[in-house]
Amino acid sequence: MLVHLRTTPAAIARQLISMRRIFAVASLTGFCVTPQRVSATRSKSVRQVLILCMGLALLVGPGRSASAEGLTLRQVIAMALSGSKNLKAARWVEAQARARLVQAGLLPNPRLELANKNDYLFANEGEYTSSVGFSQQFPVTGRIARQKDVARIDIDLALAEIREAEWKLAGEVANGFYAAVALNRQMEARNRLIEFDQKLLDAARRRFSAAEVSELDVNMAQLDLQRVTQERALLSGERAAQLDHLNQLLGRTAAQPLVLDDSLPSAETLPNLSDLQRRALERRPDLRSALLKAERARADTKLARAEQWEDWSVSLGVERSRIAVTPLPPQPSSTALALTLSVPLPLFDQKQGRIAETIASGSQANAQIAALRLSISNEVASALSEVKRLQQVMLEYQRTMLPTGERNVSLAQQGYGRGQVTTSDVVQAARQQGEINIAYLSTLNLYLQALAKLRTATAEYPR
């Protein structure tokens, strides 16, 4: 089973209960202390505020509702397939291939042949021969049919190359999409940590003013706030670069806003390895292209064999001539119909090199197919293994580490309320919980990338 990527109902319920408590107390205290309370309740109020601030640490968890206005992965892939400038340029290969098919079905142009012979510069007896005719070359071994076969395969190959470009683009979009989603969630986790650290710092400063804590406690809270703020700034830059890259893939300018639906993939059952490998071998556009290249090599071999006999040439014309016979009077002109057949004999050039080249190309294409089949099978196996490995890590976070971190924060809150633990202990527990959630989100990013890689390897995109 795939990992359930959302928080459990029990964890969500605990977070909501904590939030209600925070808001209830906040409305009563206003997170401030009035002059009338200073003398009797100042220390207790500030301590309660600090304890309640700890409840925000529970909100650092990865689960949250998706944006209803964001674009889903399928929508983003569809936008890329329709808007990508590189893909639009790649689609012109189909028109080029269809134009080659038209050209392959044409006969050579006929030739107009004109000739004139006379003895003007020599005996000048009035002899001459003039002719006019047409010649046409005809293939006698099916050369044009073989050329059309190659051109038809070129059309299929062009379509396969377009699908391969779409498949690669969809996989790249999926990787970028999930990277942006993970960065969004990591930034939200930092935002919640910043909110928590800011309130903790405010409470520590008030307690320092009341001489209840040392300056070390204030500095500790301030440094932690600055550290998380810097992390958020770095993540913001990474997210901006990722969205710019996505806009580039979509054929849009980098300045255009792009809002993504960052809901996580739903839980589903993964097929076994053999089924995934079979699907990949059936769907992969790059394998389809390799198969077509082998088919084209075979068609090219047939064409080369057909070209062993070059086109025959047939000429048809009219010839008019007159001869002079001494000492007879000038002879009348005569007219004749001329028919000529020219047959090239394949004595020396039998296209031996051309045939050998196409046979070698076919062998190379078959070797590439075998290598690609093995590569695809190994790629699917590796991607599936990575997904399963990260599933186990995710489950470990969900089953033990996240609940334990929440439990530690709760115990630290209770102990601080009873005066049993120090401020540094509470900060340490909250920081540890935040780091666990951040590490969980980093693992989530790796999981989403591995899942996108697996779906790309099995050619589920852009289906």
Q: pLDDT, tens digit, for every residue of 136-170?
A: 999 988 899 999 999 999 999 999 999 999 999 99
129 in any annotated domain: no
140: its two tokens: 């006698």
Predicted confidence at residue 34, as pLDDT, reads: 35
Domain contains 102? yes
DSSP 399: I
Within 10 angstroms of residue 151's Cβ, the number of other Cβ atoms is: 20
Is residue 170 assigned to a domain? yes
Q: What is the pLDDT of residue 419?
A: 67
Residue 417 maps to which CATH number? 1.20.1600.10
How far apart CA 184 and CA 146 sit, in angstroms, is: 57
Q: Residue 1 falls within a domain, yes or no?
A: no
Q: In degrees rounded to 5, what are phi and psi of residue 260?
A: -110, 145
Hunting for tokens 């990474």 — which residue is that?
238
Predicted local confidence at residue 267, as pLDDT? 61
Q: Domain count for the chain, please give it.
A: 1
**pLDDT value of residue 360:** 96
Asked, for residue 294, whether it belongs to a domain, the answer is yes
**The domain containing residue 265 runs over which residues?**
9-106+139-310+346-457
Phi, psi (rounded to 5 degrees) for 350: -110, 25
What are the residue ranges of helices labelled H in 307-422? Answer: 352-396, 402-417
Please, how many CA atoms are within 13 Å of residue 278, restricted to the half-sphere of its CB? 5
Chain mean position to CA 215 = 52
pLDDT tens string, the chain, 463 residues long: the values are 333 333 433 443 444 334 333 333 333 223 333 333 333 334 443 343 343 344 333 333 444 444 447 899 999 999 999 999 999 999 999 999 999 999 998 999 999 999 999 888 887 888 889 999 999 999 988 899 999 999 999 999 999 999 999 999 999 999 999 999 989 988 988 888 888 788 878 877 887 888 877 888 788 888 888 988 998 999 999 999 999 999 999 999 988 899 998 887 766 677 899 999 999 999 999 999 999 999 999 999 999 999 999 999 999 999 999 887 777 777 788 899 999 999 999 999 999 999 999 999 999 999 999 999 999 999 999 999 999 999 889 888 888 888 888 888 888 878 766 767 776 777 778 778 888 888 888 898 899 999 999 999 999 886 6
Predicted confidence at residue 463, as pLDDT, reads: 61
In a domain, 341, yes or no: no
Residue 116 within a domain: no
Residue 282 located in a structural domain: yes
